[in-house]
Amino acid sequence: MTFNSNYGTPTTTTQSITTAVSTALTTNTFTRTGYTFAGWTANSDGTGTSYTNGQSVTLTGAITLYAKWTANSNTVTFNSNYGTPTTTTQSITTA
């Protein structure tokens, strides 16, 4: 089984599996600046079968799983410096 970081680092890792035997997926060790790991998917675009971190799976052959990432969100506060309105906030997605 190959784990592809899907733009994270490091780029790939592997895990040996025995086909037709339930095996726990290796816990994610990838990182990606500005993103939070959201599990594994069968396709690099985030579609296909989804798997959770450490989930037990029974496979019938080799497979590549792709890291699924969710962009982090931050709140920006605008201070009018005594103007009107006094403050406003806006949530932004960072990547």
> To the nearest whole percent, how much of the chain has pLDDT over 70?
96
Instruction: Specify the 3-state DSSP secondary structure of 48.
Output: coil
Min mean pLDDT across 32-36, 65-69, 74-78 is at: 74-78
Strand, helix or coil for residue 27? coil
Both tokens assigned to 18: 């025995």
The answer to whether residue 24 scores a pLDDT higher than 80 is yes
Distance CA 39, CA 18 (A): 22
pTM listed for this prediction: 0.77
Average pLDDT, the chain: 89
Do 54 and 62 form a contact (C-beta atoms < 8 A)? Answer: no
Distance between CA 17 and CA 5 in Å, rounded? 19
